[in-house]
Amino acid sequence: MLKRQPLLSSVLLVGGAIALFFWTRPEAVSSPTPPAPPAYGSCPPSRDGIGKTFMGREISHVMGHPGIGWLERTDREKEEAPSKAISLLELAPDAVLADIGAGSGYYSFRIARLLPKGRVVAVDIQPEMLEFLKAEAAKLGVTNVQPHLGAVDDVKLPPASLDAALMVDAYHEFDHPAEMLASLRSALKSKGRIYLLEFRAEDDNVPIKPHHKMTEAQARKEFEAAGFRFVVNKPDLPWQHLLIFEKP
C-alpha cells in the first residue's frame, strides 16, 4: 500500500500570479500484520494425550491404520447411527465434500452414493489408509471418491474448491488444529460448511475415552476463534454431536 506525500518542485509566475507545481513520491506504508493463531501449550503427557494443549484441552493420540477394524466394525450402525448422521447433512447432489481424516472411507463411500453429480475428496495423512481406500473403491466400483494425501497442518486443497467438509471423530486428534482450520477455511467456498461429528464429552454414558470426546462449548470456542460461524448442533445421534459451522 502506497501513500502519496507532496513534494514542492517549482514556482512559476503565470499572468501575474504565482503557480506552484508539486510532484508526489511514494511513501511505503506497512500492511497490517494478520493475527497470529492461538498459541499452543504443553502439559505432562497423559495416557491418551500427546502433551500438547490447544485452548485448554490436551490433544489426543492419533488412531493409526491398525484401527481400520474399529472403523469398519459391524455394530457401528447400531452404536453411532451413521446413516442418520449422513441424512442430517442434507447435501446437494452435485456437492464437493472433503472427508477430513477419512480413514477407511466408511463415511466417504456412503456419502458418495448420494452425490451422483458430485464427489468426495477422502483426505488422510496416512498412505496406508489411502491404499485401503483405493482398493475399496475398485472393489465397490465407486468412481466419485478421490483419495487425497494431506499434511498434519494443511489439507492441501485449492482455495474455494469445497462446498463442505466433514470430520468424523478426527478433529480432536489433529496436532495442528489452528493451522488445519485455517487451511480448511481457505479450501471452502463462501458459505461452505463444516460438519463436525465428535463423541459427546458432556455425557458420561458415552463409552469413549475422555481424550476422544469433545464438548459443544470447546468445539465452538476453537472453531469460532478460527473465523467460522456456529449454525446448529443436531443432537439426534446416540453418542455424538453433529455440530455445523459455516464460513462467513
Chain segment 115-161, per-residue pLDDT in tens: 999 999 999 999 999 999 999 999 999 999 999 999 999 999 999 99
Tell me the pTM: 0.83
The answer as to whether 30 is a domain residue is no
Q: What is the pLDDT of residues 42-99, one digit of tens each?
A: 999 999 999 999 999 999 998 777 778 878 889 999 999 999 999 999 999 999 999 9
Contact 224, 246 (CB under 8 A): no
Q: For residue 26, is pLDDT > 50? A: no
- Concatenated DSSP letters of 51-120: EEEETTEEEEPP--GGGHHHHT-TTHHHHH-HHHHHHTT---TT-EEEEET-TT-HHHHHHHTT-TT-EE
- What are φ and ψ of residue 180, in 5° steps? -65, -40
Q: Which helix (DSSP H) or strand (DSSP E) does residue 203 occupy?
A: none
Q: Name which of 176, 181, 217, 178 is nearest 198 in CA terms.
A: 217
What CATH number is associated with residue 174?
Answer: 3.40.50.150
Separation CA 188–CA 170 (nearest Å): 18
The answer as to whether 78 is a domain residue is yes
Q: What pLDDT score does 14 carry?
A: 46
Q: What pLDDT score does 71 carry?
A: 86
Average pLDDT, stretch 229-235?
A: 95
Q: What pLDDT score does 33 carry?
A: 58
Q: What pLDDT score does 124 carry?
A: 97
The answer as to whether 94 is a domain residue is yes
Q: For residue 8, is pLDDT > 80? A: no
Q: What pLDDT score does 142 carry?
A: 97
Note down the domain range covering 135: 65-246
Percent of the chain with pLDDT strictly greater than 90: 78
Q: What pLDDT score does 13 carry?
A: 45
The answer as to whether 32 is a domain residue is no
Q: What pLDDT score does 34 carry?
A: 54
Q: With bands split at pLDDT 50, 70 and 90, how would you rate the model's confidence at 7?
A: very low
The answer as to whether 117 is a domain residue is yes
Q: Name which of 126, 120, 130, 211 is nearest 166 in CA terms.
A: 120
Q: What is the pLDDT of residues 163-179, one digit of tens each?
A: 999 999 999 999 999 99
The answer as to whether 3 is a domain residue is no
Rounded-to-5 percentages of helix, strand, coil across the chain? 25, 35, 35
Class of residue 103 by CB neighbours under 10 A (exposed 0-12, middle 13-18, buried 19+)? buried
Per the structure block, which three cell numbers stand in for 69?
A: 477394524
Per the structure block, which three cell numbers stand in for 114?
A: 448420494
Q: What pLDDT score does 38 carry?
A: 60
The answer as to whether 159 is a domain residue is yes
Q: For residue 18, is pLDDT > 50? A: no
- Tally the domains of the chain: 1
Q: With bands split at pLDDT 50, 70 and 90, how would you rate the model's confidence at 24?
A: very low
Q: Is the dihedral of CA 127, 128, 130, 134 positive or negative?
A: positive
Q: For residue 11, is pLDDT > 90? A: no
Q: For residue 16, is pLDDT > 80? A: no
Q: What pLDDT score does 30 carry?
A: 53
Q: For residue 19, is pLDDT > 80? A: no
The answer as to whether 59 is a domain residue is no
